[in-house]
Amino acid sequence: MSIQHESLRKRFEQHKPKNDKSKIDDKNIYTSMMKVINYLDNRFSGQLADYKISFSKSIEIKYMIDLIKSKNVRSEFDYNFNDRTIVPDGGVLYLEKKDGTFKKPILISEVKRQGTNKQRLREGKEKQATGNAIERLGKNLTGIKTMMNHEKITPFICFGWGCDFAPEEKTVLSKVFMLNEFYPLNKTYVFKKDGNSNYNFFSPVSMYFREEVWTVEEMFEIMKEIAETALRYYIY
């Protein structure tokens, strides 16, 4: 076996457990999203005659730019990437008017697992660099916050788990903390905060991070609160 092939094999074996667990994470958060849809359908039965709730795995850059343009506060954009999308791990729920004149996100969800170093140390291996999952989160979150900049809400949730998010592992948690504009973690935020007509509002989002894996029911309980708050913001 060539050195190159051996290197590729080792990298595949290194990431295989992560990929397997990521598939389970994706399945669980998808299940939670479907439970949220069922909850909203039952909770607002008869009140959404002109609306529907839809699910998508991705958000088109074109849609994001069009949503900003609809507020008539910005005119300069780069349209070279209109054919691209961002793909939140758990997808996005939209509230849409059935006549096609209205489509707004009411829940955008991510789940990030990070941390193999405890297992590596048990196996006598060296620690790996940390932060890859958070870097991917930061990329998506930048686009989502920009898209929602001129709304009063940012209906985003990220669940993080793994040994890199243990309380004593402050290196990675500090990165999440900065992504959340120095607001506390493990707290639900939907509305913008701490601004007025003279200053920009801050946009904290719901960042729930811990070492233990999140269950479907735990995620659902937080997600339904965010989605219902966003729905009420648009409808009422």
pLDDT given at position 128: 53
Whole-angstrom distance, CA of residue 17 vs CA of residue 8: 15
Say which residue, 114 or 210, is predicted with more confidence.
210
Say if residue 183's pLDDT is above 50.
Answer: yes
- What percentage of the chain exceeds 90 in pLDDT? 75
Residue 4 has what pLDDT? 46
For residue 34, give Cα distances in angstroms to 2, 50, 81, 122.
46, 21, 30, 38
Lowest mean pLDDT among 104-113, 168-177, 224-233: 168-177
Sign of CA dihedral 111, 58, 140, 153: negative
Higher per-residue confidence, 3 vs 91: 91
The per-residue pLDDT for range 225-236, each reduced to its tens digit, is 999 999 999 999
The yes-or-no verdict on residue 120 having pLDDT over 70 is no
Mean pLDDT of the region 51-65: 98
CB atoms within 10 A of CB 17: 11
Angle CA(168)–CA(171)–CA(176) in degrees, nearest 5?
105
Taking all residues of the chain, what is their mean pLDDT, rounded to a whole number?
A: 89
Does residue 206 contact residue 222 with C-beta atoms inside 8 Å? Answer: yes
* Residue range 17-36, pLDDT digits in tens: 446 777 899 999 999 999 99
Q: Which residue from 233, 216, 192, 191 is spatially nearest to 39, judged by alpha carbons?
A: 216
Q: Which two tokens stand for residue 186?
A: 């493990």
Enumerate the β-bridge partners of residue 55. Answer: 93
Work out the pLDDT band at 157, boundaries 50, 70, 90.
Answer: very high
With a pLDDT cut of 70, the percent of the chain lying above it is 85
Give the model's pLDDT for residue 131: 53
Q: Could you tell me which residues come within 8 angstroms of residue 171 by beta carbon, excluding any fewer than 6 positions away?
A: 130, 131
**Res. 85: pLDDT tops 70:** yes
Q: What pLDDT is stored for residue 129 in this prediction?
A: 53
Indicate yes or no: pTM above 0.85: yes
pLDDT of residue 116: 62
The Cα 142–Cα 91 span in angstroms is 16
Give yes or no for a contact between 58 and 86, defined as CB atoms under 8 angstroms apart: yes
Instruction: State the helix-helix crossing angle for 3-43 and 216-235, rounded to 10 degrees.
Output: 50
Residue 185 three-state SS: coil
- Please give the Cα distance from 60 to 221 (Å, whole number): 27
Residue 228 pLDDT? 98
The CATH class, in words, for 3-235 is alpha beta
> pLDDT at residue 46 above 60?
yes
